[in-house]
Amino acid sequence: MNNFKSNPPVPLYYTLVEFLKKQIEDEELKPGETIPSERELIEKFNLSRTTVRKAIDILVNEGLLTKVQGKGTFVQKKKMDDGLIKLTSCTESIKKMGLNPGRKLLSSAVIPVTKNIATHMQIDSEEKLFKLERVLYGDNVPINITTSHTVYKYVQGIEEYDFEKESLYNILENKFNIKINHSVRTIEAVLANEKEAELLQISVGSPILLFNGLVYGIINGEEKPIEYFISKYRCDISKFYIEQIR
């Protein structure tokens, strides 16, 4: 009796996955370049559209490819690498990666404080906030959506600045003499809704990283909560590290 089992057949999509991986490893497909279209891959490998899409989805999930709605599928660039210990602005982090930072203003307004934010910031319910909502880019690729709420009494007139050009933290420190001191942040994985997917140029239901944070600053020698923010990062082009010391 033969006790040897025959090897199971290799799935068709696996051949395409391995081919594209080798192309990326050998830099025949370079970071930022588009891969061949679905039609080209179907014809080259004599595969079905479903099989080609499955192979591409596997490489997207592994972080080797990224899909941009309306533009195609690209070889992943180096991920934006940011620490969770040192407090830096997203603009600074993008610059450290050698990328050109950009900003798209979604909204800005002076608003009454909500009960939820008043509780988070431990401020009076009569306070006003400067609300700033933007998409931040690196080399014209959207990286995150950030909504910031700053205590308005500390920054009166801040709504006059052009926040498609200016860094919020630079304005706080250089124009309002607020020294950014430290923050407390939470992080969780969520799925992108329709609006978030459109702004980040990803598919609805793609995983994103949700940060909630409270930032403290020194004002007239006293530490005070100055900003509450919500940031939503694309997972496929962002990673974060924690340095631990024993």
The confidence score (pLDDT) of residue 58 equals 87
Task: Provide the sign of the torsion angle of the four alpha carbons 159, 162, 163, 166, taken in this order.
Answer: negative
Note the pLDDT of residue 68. 76
Phi and psi (nearest 5°) for 227?
A: -145, 140
Average pLDDT over residues 95-121: 88
Confidence tier at 239 by pLDDT (50, 70, 90): low
| Percentage of the residues of the chain whose pLDDT score is greater than 70 | 85
Q: How confident is the model at residue 206 (pLDDT cuts 50, 70, 90)?
A: confident
Contact 149, 228 (CB under 8 A): yes
Helix (H/G/I), strand (E/B), else coil: 64: coil
Report, as an integer, the average pLDDT of 154-173: 93
* Average pLDDT rounded to a whole number, residues 29-53: 88
What's the confidence (pLDDT) of residue 3? Answer: 47
CB 80 within 8 A of CB 95: no
Sequence-distant (≥ 6) Cβ neighbours of residue 205 within 8 angstroms: 191, 192, 197
pTM above 0.85, yes or no: no
Residue 115 scores a pLDDT above 60? yes
The per-residue pLDDT for 194 is 93
Lowest mean pLDDT among 25-29, 100-104, 169-173: 25-29
**130 vs 245: which has the higher pLDDT:** 130
> Could you give the CA distance from residue 222 to residue 215 in angstroms, rounded to a whole number?
14
Place of tokens 């919500």: 230
- Asked if residues 154 and 168 have their Cβ atoms less than 8 Å apart, the reply is no
Spatial CB neighbours of 171, under 8 Å, sequence gap ≥ 6: 155, 158, 161
Q: 164 near 103, Cβ under 8 Å?
A: yes
Q: Pick the residue with more confidence: 151 or 28?
A: 151
On whether the CB atoms of residues 109 and 159 are closer than 8 A, the answer is yes
Band of pLDDT at residue 1, cut at 50, 70 and 90: very low
Give the per-residue pLDDT at 8.
54
CB-CB neighbours of 102 under 10 Å: 19
Higher-confidence residue of 163 and 63: namely 163
Rounded CA separation 217/228 (Å): 12
Q: Could you give the angle at the alpha carbon of 178 between the alpha carbons of 129 and 219, nearest 5°?
A: 90
Q: Higher pLDDT residue, 222 or 2?
A: 222
d(CA 222, CA 193): 40
Lowest-confidence pick of 9-13, 59-63, 70-74, 130-134: 9-13
- For residue 195, the SS3 value is helix
User: In angstroms, rounded to a whole number, what is the distance separating the alpha carbons of residues 72 and 50?
Assistant: 17
Whole-number mean pLDDT of the chain? 84
Q: With 60 as the cut, is the pLDDT of residue 88 above it?
A: no
